[in-house]
Amino acid sequence: MLLNLSYNDQSLKEKINLSVGSPFSLLERLKKKGVGSPRLIISESSINIHNLLILDKNINFCNIEIRPKGIIIRFRSLLETYGLVVPFYKLKLYKGKANQYSIYNDSTFIKIEVKKIDDHAFFKKLSTEKNSYKY
């Protein structure tokens, strides 16, 4: 589900929390050694996300937040912040090339370029969170 997250809308927050769970508490974040990714480069995406990303000429960056029941992939286009909300039961995670990961949700996908060891470690953490999730 692709949403515009720029504005503080309570009904939108409830919709996100219902889909992927509320954010982890500070203590849980410390136990997990962080639940957010570093800044990642988007190398390719599905047409609905691509149409948003080509509106400006900047390099397309995103970050990923792990929630109890899924993930939120956030990116910016123009002055708006968008989020792709993906529950774990719809999440497909593939490693294509040596430095590229693909995240699929139904018909929407994002391919992310990974260059640092820390980025690979985050995707390992994401994979273990998905595998440990009880449907």
Please state which architecture CATH assigns to domain 2-132: Roll (2.30)
Mean predicted confidence (pLDDT) in 105-121: 92
- pLDDT mean across residues, the chain: 93
Banded model confidence at residue 97, pLDDT cuts 50, 70, 90: confident
Banded model confidence at residue 84, pLDDT cuts 50, 70, 90: very high
- Provide the whole-model pTM: 0.93
**What's the distance, CA 14 to chain centroid?**
18
Banded model confidence at residue 96, pLDDT cuts 50, 70, 90: confident
* Dist. CA 112–CA 45, nearest whole Å: 9
CA angle, 122 then 127 then 129, to 5°:
95
Banded model confidence at residue 134, pLDDT cuts 50, 70, 90: confident
**Per-residue model confidence (pLDDT) at position 75:** 95
- DSSP secondary structure letters along 73-115: EEEEETTEEEEEEEEGGGEEEEE-STTEEEEEETTEEEEEE--
**Per-residue model confidence (pLDDT) at position 110:** 96
Q: Is the pLDDT of residue 133 over 90?
A: no
Asked if residue 123 lies in contact with residue 116, where contact means CB atoms within 8 angstroms, the answer is: no
Q: Is the pLDDT of residue 105 over 80?
A: yes
